[in-house]
Amino acid sequence: MTPTKRGIVLGALLAIGGVALTVAALQQPLAGQEAPRVVEAEQLKDNLFLLTGGGGNSSAFVTEGGVVVVDTKNPGWGQPLLDAIGSVTDKPVTMIINTHTHGDHVSGNVEFAENIEIVAHENTRTNMQEMRPNSSAAPSTTPPLNIFRDNGGRGMPTQTFTDRMTIGSGRDQIDLHYFGRSHTNGDAMVVFPAHRVMHIADAFPAMDMPIMDANNGGTGVGYADTLEKASAFVDGNIDTLISGHSATTTTPADLKRFIQFVRGYVSDAQAAKRDGKTVDAFADAWMPPAGFTARQARVRSNARLIFDETR
């Protein structure tokens, strides 16, 4: 090898080394970041999709005039949700329906086009002006994120309802129902009558202890009664329920079992109060029945509310 050639080879090796260093430097911050944000789309009916990941479940209903999206996930998950919808239809999103105020269901609103309709219960609109953390959230020293205030009011509901609202007609009809306070004081239950499907969201978190969110108007002692009203409607009208976080759909029979679970828990908490027990003593000892799960923080924060509501 002549000295000249060796020089070129060395130079090339240094160049490759330089590229390798650059790649390593680029990968360094990437390694500390969270995984790519991917929303999965599952086709439930020909024009109805369940979209999971990134917070609460969303659904997308593809109507003649455009796509109606129920709930929009955590901050930063609006665009991945739009990408997932774009993978199943070419139609634009024309409407968002928010089931309730929690940040894992509404925050993506700010990433949608500014001219679309956003529909929610009137109490949810009021709650979204404040965006208080739910009563089961861990205490925090930082002020809660108010994504709508931070975005100059973008993403706030443009239409509200109180008890019932019908959108569209025929195959495209959507009915919004409010049966009373449960998870919050503004839980919209979204019905697609043509498919006999209800997006019931966090009011029925499948077989898990619900959050009875005192900070956003939720109730413990009234929870089961409200769901009893929903269940009376579900009987004969609905075959499939979309819960707020479960990756699989549930049935009207599951809803009935859930209501009995909530009733049992609430009456256990009320009995503990009447027996002079503390909230903590009750929450430490209480165990969910077989087939149900219950996070300790929820058992405790819900019990605090039930004790307060029980005279």
Q: Which positions touch Zn ion (CB under 5 A)?
A: 102, 202
CB of 305 to Zn ion, least distance (A): 15
End-to-end alpha-carbon separation of the chain, Å?
95
* Comparison of 102 and 125: residue with beta carbon closer to Zn ion: 102
CB of 187 to Zn ion, least distance (A): 9
CB 206 within 8 A of CB 214: no
* Comparison of 242 and 272: residue with beta carbon closer to Zn ion: 242
- The span from the CA of 199 to the CA of 191, in Å, is 6
CB of 193 to Zn ion, least distance (A): 25
* Comparison of 63 and 215: residue with beta carbon closer to Zn ion: 215
CB of 95 to Zn ion, least distance (A): 21
CB of 156 to Zn ion, least distance (A): 18
* Comparison of 199 and 273: residue with beta carbon closer to Zn ion: 199
* Comparison of 202 and 208: residue with beta carbon closer to Zn ion: 202
* Comparison of 172 and 202: residue with beta carbon closer to Zn ion: 202
* Comparison of 47 and 155: residue with beta carbon closer to Zn ion: 155
CB of 74 to Zn ion, least distance (A): 12
CB of 231 to Zn ion, least distance (A): 19
Which sign, positive or negative, has the C-alpha torsion 71, 76, 77, 79? positive
